[in-house]
A = this chain, B = another copy of it.
Amino acid sequence: MPLTPEIVGKLHEATGARNVITASEELRTYECDALTAYRAVPGAVVLPATTEEVQAVARICYQAHIPFVARGSGTGLSGGAMPVPEGVVICLARMNRILEIDFPNARVVVEPGVINLEVTGRVAPANYFYAPDPSSQSVCSIGGNVAENSGGAHCLKYGFTTTHVLALEVVLPDGTLMHLGKKTLDALGYDLPGVFVGSEGTLGVATKITLRIVKRPESVQTLLAAFHSTTEAGAAVSGIIAAGMLPAAIEMMDHLSILAAEAAVHAHYPDCGGLLLVEMDGPQAEVCALMEHIQEICRSQGAWEIRLAQSETERALVWKGRKAAFAALGRISPNYIVQDGVIPRTRLPQVLTRIGELSTEAGLRVANVFHAGDGNLHPMVLYDRRIAGQEKSAIALSERILELCIEAGGSITGEHGVGEEKKHMMSKMFAEPDLATMQRVRCAFDPQQIANPAKVFPRPRLCGEKLGEYTPHPLELAGVAERF
């Protein structure tokens, strides 16, 4: 259904005219998220300020069969917030209040537009923090984190967003308000907060989110270990986990990403083939004892230089280099694709070797930065768009790498989501009955499929549709996004 002036009028009534954007040059701002390769111009962007306004907007879209896409800060890497052409974007930036801080129960209630790092900022004085820490945490929103089930370096020990979301107030696509989960642990009934977190905007819009906050550990130590190769570094990772230790973070960088990070932020990383960054936190007694053990393991696997950060400043610099690694690649390559795949930790050496071979075959450099502890790789394929055909082969290579992850018993995304970018690969991971059930679950929330349709699933499926039969979905015929 087109976005008629009458409907725009209704949106004006719902949120106030000044919070509805329809001027084409302003709409361009919202044509993509951090995955800039896919773009589509929406018909309107609404900025509601309250749950009631979100409900009103949803009702308008539902009654007119107009698809909408919820958007946080637009830092997503899989195109999850890319608009439907001519559809509505519900931008939650104005819903950015921290509604409640309950220290005795270690709970915080926020609106979706609250910035990830702001939560920690607010609870830090009482010695708490919010654990999930995507590299974009200084700009990304909690609502976006919920949509993508965002991870981060410290999720090895603390778990992903889903571990930290206890309850949600959700506006269903028809405008109905529902409440998922409870402030207490182990809520009863189906674990709907679990389904909603990571549903990439396809089930509705979260308007209130109850988060768990964590007591800041007594002490933190961060270690840098330099190896000749990522294979050696990988063996050290296995050694650490096999010893039964659970560091707060185990990050690995290969030579190329070290060069990039150095060029960008001068983190004083040793110039080596494989760099391991291990952080332990907890009671002082524990951290000191285990750091000793970790250093032994690293040495035994061939670490030729080991450094313990001696101050908070040193520690911050170590992390600055790691978190800047993606952006830093701009220093050494005109263009690059950041990939996101998961493999069983034990397959690290084989997969890395194979990535090296594929990179050589394709004649394209691949930099590897990853959360080694939970086998979440971020291979980055470097290329130059100006050279004819190179972007095409870069995309081909990055997809080949994802297939490699699947072959190794892993998956095509750890924390960036499927979104627009990877939906065509879902059938490589899931059988038809699995995808069909997921889509029927979606229909339980969104019978009209107007909430971020045409994302995540290889093809939208009508809610009435039986397994096996094939009814083309309107959006499918329309053809959703233009690829740049």
Contact = CB atoms under 8 A, between A and B. Distances in A.
Given A191-B195, A283-B290, A182 B238 contact: no
A192 B412 CA distance: 17
Contacts of A346: 104-105
A38 interface: no
Interface in A399-455: 409-415, 417-418, 426, 429-431, 433-435, 437-438, 440-445
Interface stretch (A60-68, A212-220, A259-267, A307-315): A212-220
A184 B434 contact: no
A188 B411 contact: yes
Contact of A190 (B195, B216, B244, B429): B195
A288 interface: yes
Contacts of A180: 434
Given A186-B151, A191-B198, A343-B184, A177 B415 contact: no
Nearest to A105: B344
B431 A345 contact: no
Contacts of A443: 440, 444
A149 interface: yes
A185 B341 CA distance: 11
A172 interface: yes
Given A285-B289, A343-B184, A434-B179, A215 B244 contact: yes
A443 B464 CA distance: 12
Contacts of A431: 178-179
A273 interface: no
9 cross-chain pairs, A with B, having the tightest CB-CB distances, nearest first: A194-B194, A215-B244, A440-B444, A286-B286, A285-B289, A285-B285, A104-B346, A191-B194, A441-B444
Contacts of A430: 179, 189
Given A286-B282, A286-B285, A199 B190 contact: yes
A105 B184 contact: no
Nearest to A417: B188
A71 B56 CA distance: 45
27 contacts: A104-B238, A104-B346, A105-B346, A149-B186, A155-B186, A162-B194, A177-B433, A182-B342, A182-B410, A183-B344, A184-B343, A184-B411, A185-B342, A186-B411, A188-B198, A188-B412, A189-B434, A189-B456, A190-B442, A191-B197, A194-B195, A216-B244, A283-B286, A283-B289, A286-B286, A440-B443, A441-B444
A199 B282 CA distance: 35
Given A179-B434, A182-B409, 7 more contacts: A182-B411, A184-B343, A185-B375, A186-B374, A189-B430, A189-B456, A440-B445
A177 B443 CA distance: 20
A189 B78 CA distance: 13
Interface string A211-249: 000011110000000000000000000100010100000
Nearest to A202: B190
Contacts of A414: 186
A202 to B, nearest CB: 8
A324 to B, nearest CB: 23
A438 B189 contact: yes
A187 B411 CA distance: 7
A130 interface: no
Which of A188, A342, A343, A418 has the largest number of chain B CB atoms within 10 A? A188
Given A178-B431, A194-B194, A218-B244, A189 B286 contact: no
A356 B343 CA distance: 53
The residue in A238, A286, A409 that gathers the most chain B C-beta atoms within 10 A of its C-beta is A286
Nearest to A282: B286
Contacts of A99: none
A376 interface: yes
B186 A441 contact: no
Contacts of A104: 238, 242, 344-346
A217 B290 CA distance: 13
Given A192-B195, A195-B194, A441-B441, A184 B375 contact: yes
A375 B343 CA distance: 37
